[in-house]
A and B are shown apart, each in its own frame.
Chain A
Amino acid sequence: GENVEQHPSTLSVQEGDSAVIKCTYSDSASNYFPWYKQELGKRPQLIIDIRSNVGEKKDQRIAVTLNKTAKHFSLHITETQPEDSAVYFCAARDDKIIFGKGTRLHILP
């Protein structure tokens, strides 16, 4: 069945540096790749998504890249800030949505 692998499981970066989280998926029919952010004690919320006909999408400090040939996609956060500390989930969707296991991002002061 469909599988989504997410790495790393934990990531610590210095405030102001960049953070990169990577995901791979197995179902080549997947055509939608959202990223969700879950702050401590709060619900997951969509922060950015990309569709299979696009290779890159950017929204201020957040960007996502997609390589359909290699079946991997990545989240890039630049100029990290304390409020970026959270768990980030990638997902891949064809007819059903599969989430990665999450990355706990710590922004160090």
Chain B
Amino acid sequence: ETGVTQTPRHLVMGMTNKKSLKCEQHLGHNAMYWYKQSAKKPLELMFVYSLEERVENNSVPSRFSPECPNSSHLFLHLHTLQPEDSALYLCASSQVATGTYEQYFGPGTRLTVT
């Protein structure tokens, strides 16, 4: 699959587990994003990385920890989550983090916290 890929596509975890979501973009972009999508807040921006540097953190709880080792990969490390964290987590990338550039979304990871 080209474009933006995410693994796993589905994840069920207990509140004491530690897991990681992975995103990879094959578009040569310099900016990557994590979004949370739920019925309550359809597209909630969590983090923005530009050239591997975090440039935005929208008051996300510390139980979510992003990591961007290079401009093609983005991770979201999860630990001690709550049931209300169950949602679809979307990764996206764009050419740069600002300006008039389209965001390309991945297929998402459907996370269920039990």
Chain A positions within 8 Å of B, measured between CB atoms, are 31-32, 34, 36, 42-46, 49, 51, 87, 89, 93, 95-99, 101-102
Contacts and interface: CB of A to CB of B under 8 A. Distances in A.
Given A89-B42, A102-B42, A32 B90 contact: no
Given A43-B108, A44-B105, A87 B99 contact: no
Please tell me the size bucket of the interface on B.
10 to 19
Contacts of A32: 99-100
Interface in B5-43: 41-43
A93 B41 contact: no
Given A44-B90, A101-B41, A102-B42, A95 B100 contact: no
B34 to A, nearest CB: 13
B32 to A, nearest CB: 13
B53 interface: no
Contacts of B41: 101
A99 B92 CA distance: 14
Contacts of B105: 36, 43-45
Interface string B93-114: 0000011101101111000000
Given A32-B99, A49-B102, A97-B103, 13 more contacts: A32-B100, A36-B103, A43-B107, A44-B43, A44-B105, A46-B102, A46-B103, A87-B42, A93-B99, A93-B100, A95-B98, A98-B45, A101-B41
Interface in B60-78: none
A31 B100 contact: yes
A97 B98 CA distance: 8
Contacts of A43: 90, 105-108
Contacts of B99: 32, 93
B100 A96 contact: no
A95 B100 CA distance: 10
Nearest to B105: A43
